[in-house]
């Protein structure tokens, strides 16, 4: 495996696709709030497809970056937050559990970024994501939870478009997502592998002559 360099090109296709999902998120929320359900569903589908595509490209052509491990879940959570808030404003979705977990993870991400940033610790360097510091590794339950949350959001977005009664399915999905959301939040707290610090200094003992 190639050694980690201090800086790395972050303008890769997977990262650009991820940024496009970040940009699409507020437009999806706008469409939901203003009744453009077809557009909301189409943009949501794009977000889901681009999410799968950027991961596949990164793996196939070895284009993964540390910044990608940060902005990819950020894009997912931004989309989740926008959908949760806008759908909750319409009375279609309970938001407290999902948003509470994401706020907690967001605060944790800020904390880990700061403590793991290579010195000197400055505000400008904090926002320079070409400088690797901490790598977030989604836990297994978190991956399932993200998929289930996307499924719930998609079903809720689809409901106004199709001539079917999806009320029972939505209720069941809401209970399932509430459970996996709490579980996944706890997994980041108790898992030793969820966050990897990349800028730890070498053990001084390894530098001593034998």
Residue 210 has pLDDT above 50, yes or no: no
Q: What is the pLDDT of residue 135?
A: 65
Q: What's the half-sphere exposure (Cβ side, CA atoms, 13 Å) at 41?
A: 12
Q: How much is the pTM?
A: 0.61
Closest CA to 110 of 122, 94, 92, 126: 126
Q: What is the pLDDT of residues 95-121, one digit of tens each?
A: 666 777 777 777 777 776 777 777 777
Question: What is the DSSP code (8-state) at residue 20?
Answer: H
In the chain, where are the structural domains located? 67-199
* 3-state class (DSSP) for residue 36: coil
Q: Quick check: helix, strand or coil at residue 90?
A: coil
In tens, the pLDDT along 183-202 reads 887 887 776 666 666 654 44
pLDDT of residue 19: 92
Digit-coded pLDDT (tens) for 132-181: 666 667 788 888 887 887 788 888 888 888 888 888 888 888 888 888 88
């Amino acid at each position: 495996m190639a050694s980690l360099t201090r800086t790395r090109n972050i303008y890769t296709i997977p990262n650009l696709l991820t940024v496009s999902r970040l940009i699409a998120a507020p437009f999806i929320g706008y469409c939901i709030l203003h009744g453009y359900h077809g557009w909301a569903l189409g943009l949501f589908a794009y977000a889901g497809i681009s999410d799968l595509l950027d991961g596949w490209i990164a793996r196939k052509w070895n284009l993964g970056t540390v910044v990608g491990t940060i902005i990819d879940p950020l894009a997912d959570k931004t989309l989740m937050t926008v959908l949760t808030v806008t759908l909750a404003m319409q009375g279609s979705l309970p938001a407290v559990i999902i948003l509470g977990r994401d706020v907690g993870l967001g605060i944790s991400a800020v904390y880990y970024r700061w403590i793991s940033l290579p010195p000197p610790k400055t505000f400008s360097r904090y926002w320079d994501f070409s400088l690797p510091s901490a790598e977030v590794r989604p836990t297994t339950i978190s991956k399932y939870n993200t998929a289930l949350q996307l499924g719930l959001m998609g079903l809720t977005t689809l409901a106004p478009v199709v001539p079917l009664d999806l009320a029972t399915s939505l209720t069941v999905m809401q209970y399932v997502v509430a459970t996996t959301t709490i579980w996944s939040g706890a997994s980041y707290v108790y898992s030793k592998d969820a966050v990897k610090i990349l800028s730890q200094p070498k053990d001084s003992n390894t530098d001593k002559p034998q």
